[in-house]
Structure 1
Amino acid sequence: MSALLVLVALGLGLAGVLVLRHQRPAWYWLAIGGWLAVLRVSFGYSSVMEACGLTVPPSRMRLMLARAANREVPPNRPPRLVRMRITRTGLVMRLRLCPGQDAFDVATSTDRLRHSFLMHAVTSREVKAGVVEVRMTGYDVLRRVQIPARAERSLLRVPVALVDDGSVHYRDFREVPHRLDLGATVSGKSVSLRNLVTELAPQPVALVGIDCKQGVELGPLARRLSAFADNPDSAADLLEALVERMAQIYLVIRREQRISVDIPDAEITADIWGLPEAIRPTPVVLIVDEVAELLLISSNSEKKRRERTMTALVRLAQLGRAAGIYLEICGQRFGAELGEGTTMLRAQLTGRICHRVNDEGSAKMALADISPEAVLAATTIAPNQQGVAVLGDSSGGWVRGRGPYVSLRRAVNVCNRYAHLTPDLPELAPFRPALPVAEPVDLAKPVPASA
């Protein structure tokens, strides 16, 4: 009877561990999986490094000493393991490279290290000369994404996704002012847009939306929008109003520069962030959903309107950063078929994000000028991986990440709750959505679907 009870207890314990591993992989990793991985790496480190080609022959001095002492030839040396720590998603190792090795050797062996150490993913980066950091992910962090509570948030810098190595990806408008977001239908592009709006809603910024699909995506969020256009004609007028606002802001910056020998260098500015806070204009984030609907024309009579729209977009992309105007352009494709000026506009969009696409050409539109490997990574996203995307910028760096799922109801509740923070910009007053004032919504309480 006692043996049966022990077997039952072991079975229940094993079942609990399996449930914990599936339902709460982070908890399982911190409690059990991480320590097992530490043992695996510690005991098999030297043999794995040698099998992966990450060892170097012993130095001449060691060989000479071995011959002088009549000892065996010293074995090949792996990189020195400086330290190893467990994180919420995996392991982080700091390696000191041997003479003759470089960071590229480790980077090319990450896939072999993943199989050898039985990890989900392995990435590496150079910390400084001779030191490489290897991040190993113990489970699929992109399967169920939840932004950690400790993620930092500041003005125009918000967490939007988790990277496949477990780190948080931030959308920093002041560092990367304009971004292009491409993705096929049902690729997770709309959810990514909702996530961005819900993160920006509590901040003192003006959100401007253009949704030429009759406003079906951004219309429900209109209470938090300072201006909104749901058709190409009103969108062209709205963009020209933003260009006029940009010109007025430049006049303010020029007036406040007061360049003279008495003004300290730190007080001379060429953008709004160097202005005194009392007169600093409100930053504006322009969100364009489905840019093809904005730029495509069906007759010659619409050609002038398209030229106005494209000219305004290019001017905002070229000059808007200093005036505190930032662009988030979304669409399924962004190629020359949209007309003249498309390439010029795309060249100004520093940030790139590519969800699942239907053809390689669409991935190249977003990522070809970043990295060929990024294009390949974007084309391998499966249809059942909604929300997974390749995130990069013009510096050539790219990562694979996924944002948390944000339902439309959740996004509407957040926008309604922070509707009182919506700035009233005089230049955009004609485009302010005409909506009744909404009561703040308590996000802790469930809201009926009919609300």
Structure 2
Amino acid sequence: MDALWIMLLVVLVVALVLRRLRPTWYWMTFGVTLATIRVLSRYRSVMDACGLTVPPSRWRLTLARLTNRPPPEDRSPRILRLRPTATGLVLRLKLRPGQDAFDFSASSDRLRHSFALHNVVSREIRSGVVELRMTGYDILKRVRMPAVGPDDALRVPVALREDGEVHYRDYREVPHALNVGATKSGKSVYQRTLVAGLAPRNVALVGIDCKNGVELSPLAARFTAMADNPTDAAELLTALVQYMSRVYDLIRAEQRISVGLPDAEITADIWDLPPHLRPLPVVVLVDEVAELALAANKAEEARRDRIVTDLIRLSQLGRAAGIHLEICGQRFGSELGKGITMLRAQLTGRTAHRVNDETSANMAFGDISPDAVLAAVQIDRDRPGTAVAGDSSGGWTRIRAPHTTLRQAVDTCNAHAHRTPSIPELEPFRPAVPVRVIVGKVQPKSASAPAF
């Protein structure tokens, strides 16, 4: 018996240490079994307490009355599958007639407390089927991105979602996006992670950093063009509009619409062009949009109108030409002047890091989801990098980007500098990359990719 008690004590100590230092290991060894037993044993009572049951059908009541039996109990949704994952449990349910997927979304907090799990997220898989993704621990406390295989050139893993899934920045699905957040909220780290994820891919990067380039200039080896002040930014955006017009001329010349041409070969964007003619997609990163929109005199006001007009043109027309906008700022409201709200309406993707006031959160999610606004306001100051990500469809989730250091991002961009394409319209804005000193040697910048 003494040996048995010593063994149990050792197991308990190991479980407590793993729960504290290695929550993933604790979950896979102890937590998943305990949570599965807890969910299955409490399932019926929890569904009843949360109001997620339906009364028995009329024929069952009639049958009970005819046979003089007690009336049947309310019915819970039927469990289709319970699957453990590395971060929690996935419970798939078949809804009863009369139930709605919204009922489960509204009850997510009550389900979380009832099952004693860290988080519960509900989503509708198809008509009549709901999936509850339950996490067993706080996976956003220490973000560890899982290994992901090669993917589409414009689908970049940038963060971890609160349900344990990887959050992707997919430019094919969401061409343009807005990223707002206060100082020290992790906005710049998110942008740095995005650049590091795009660097190994066949894309052209264009940067506008009006803080004298302090955020993006260290990554200049991978940028086709860069502007570090509003005057150069205005010229760069004009050049981008000219490049967009040239791409549209190419698309128009290659449409070749005729009676005998298959429908699949008719194109209205760059993605259906032959590979040897298809230009590389361009991702434009604007570090602080307020610096482009502020004006102190008449001359600056004219420049500002020109910048905003070109940004609106790129947001409205750039998708088919493979031009995508990633706009960052602390605020993005109508106080920045004429045309800003029109530009914001074109930015489908929305990401809000910690903000200083509810108005800033409303600028990102006020026209999408009031719940997302509340979630953005509640982000803890001690957890930089945590954000709320959503899109114009109204869906949103909490995410947290891994801490990518500037050295890691610089090394990634330098290692893939040979992928930097040359675009004639943007050649005057090619950043001057300083020579790198490696182990006492001077190494010039790598040769750039062929021009389009």
Range 280-289 or range 43-52, more displaced: 43-52
Range 146-155 or range 272-281, more displaced: 146-155
Query: Do the aligned residues in 2 keep the contact of 1:96 with 1:131 (CA within 8 Å)?
Result: yes
**Cα displacement string for residues 72-124 of structure 1 (whole angstroms, at most 9, x for unaligned residues):** 22222111111101011111111111222221222222111111100111111
User: 1:181-200 counterparts in 2 under 5 A?
Assistant: 181-200=179-198
> What secondary structure does 1:290 align onto?
coil
**1:440, CA displacement in angstroms?**
10
Query: Match of 1:34?
Result: 32
Choose the corresponding residue for 1:249, options 240, 247, 250.
247
Letter in 2 for 1:42: L
Query: Match of 2:450?
Result: none
Query: Match of 2:114?
Result: 116
Query: Match of 1:319?
Result: 317
Letter in 1 for 2:142: R
Choose the corresponding residue for 2:232, options 227, 234, 243.
234
**Cα displacement string for residues 326-366 of structure 1 (whole angstroms, at most 9, x for unaligned residues):** 00000000112212111111111111111111111111111
> How many angstroms apart in 2 are the aligned matches of 1:186 and 1:82?
44
Letter in 2 for 1:90: G
> What secondary structure does 2:124 align onto?
strand
Letter in 2 for 1:136: M
Range 122-131 or range 218-227, more displaced: 122-131
Choose the corresponding residue for 2:415, options 414, 417, 430.
417
Query: Match of 1:446?
Result: none
Choose the corresponding residue for 2:17, options 19, 35, 60.
19
Alignment partner of 1:74 is 2:75: no
Alignment partner of 1:269 is 2:267: yes
Query: Match of 2:48?
Result: 50
Range 175-184 or range 97-106, more displaced: 97-106
Query: Match of 2:94?
Result: 96
> What secondary structure does 1:160 align onto?
strand
Query: Match of 1:140?
Result: 138
Letter in 2 for 1:294: L
> How many angstroms apart in 1 are the aligned matches of 2:295 and 2:194?
29
Give the aligned CA root-mean-square deviation in angstroms.
1.7
> How many angstroms apart in 2 are the aligned matches of 1:258 and 1:439?
51
Letter in 2 for 1:244: Q
**1:67, CA displacement in angstroms?**
2.8
> What secondary structure does 1:93 align onto?
strand
Choose the corresponding residue for 1:59, options 50, 57, 60.
57
**Cα displacement string for residues 231-275 of structure 1 (whole angstroms, at most 9, x for unaligned residues):** 111111111111110011111111111111121111110111111
Aligned pair in 2 of structure 1 residues 26, 186: CA closer, same or farther (>3 Å)?
same
Aligned pair in 2 of structure 1 residues 130, 243: CA closer, same or farther (>3 Å)?
same
> What secondary structure does 2:231 align onto?
helix
**1:203, CA displacement in angstroms?**
0.3
Query: Match of 1:375?
Result: 373
> What secondary structure does 1:269 align onto?
coil
Aligned pair in 2 of structure 1 residues 77, 440: CA closer, same or farther (>3 Å)?
farther
**Cα displacement string for residues 1-55 of structure 1 (whole angstroms, at most 9, x for unaligned residues):** x83x665554443222222122222222122101111100111111111111112
Query: Match of 2:299?
Result: 301
TM-score, normalization by structure 1: 0.94
> How many angstroms apart in 2 are the aligned matches of 1:7 and 1:42?
29
**1:439, CA displacement in angstroms?**
8.7
Gaps of 5+ in 1: 442-451
Letter in 1 for 2:405: S
Aligned pair in 2 of structure 1 residues 98, 440: CA closer, same or farther (>3 Å)?
farther
Letter in 1 for 2:39: V
TM-score, normalization by structure 2: 0.94
Aligned pair in 2 of structure 1 residues 69, 129: CA closer, same or farther (>3 Å)?
same
Query: Do the aligned residues in 2 keep the contact of 1:272 with 1:280 (CA within 8 Å)?
Result: yes
Query: Do the aligned residues in 2 keep the contact of 1:153 with 1:159 (CA within 8 Å)?
Result: no
**Cα displacement string for residues 366-413 of structure 1 (whole angstroms, at most 9, x for unaligned residues):** 111111111111111121121111111111111111111101111111
Aligned pair in 2 of structure 1 residues 192, 440: CA closer, same or farther (>3 Å)?
farther
Letter in 1 for 2:241: V
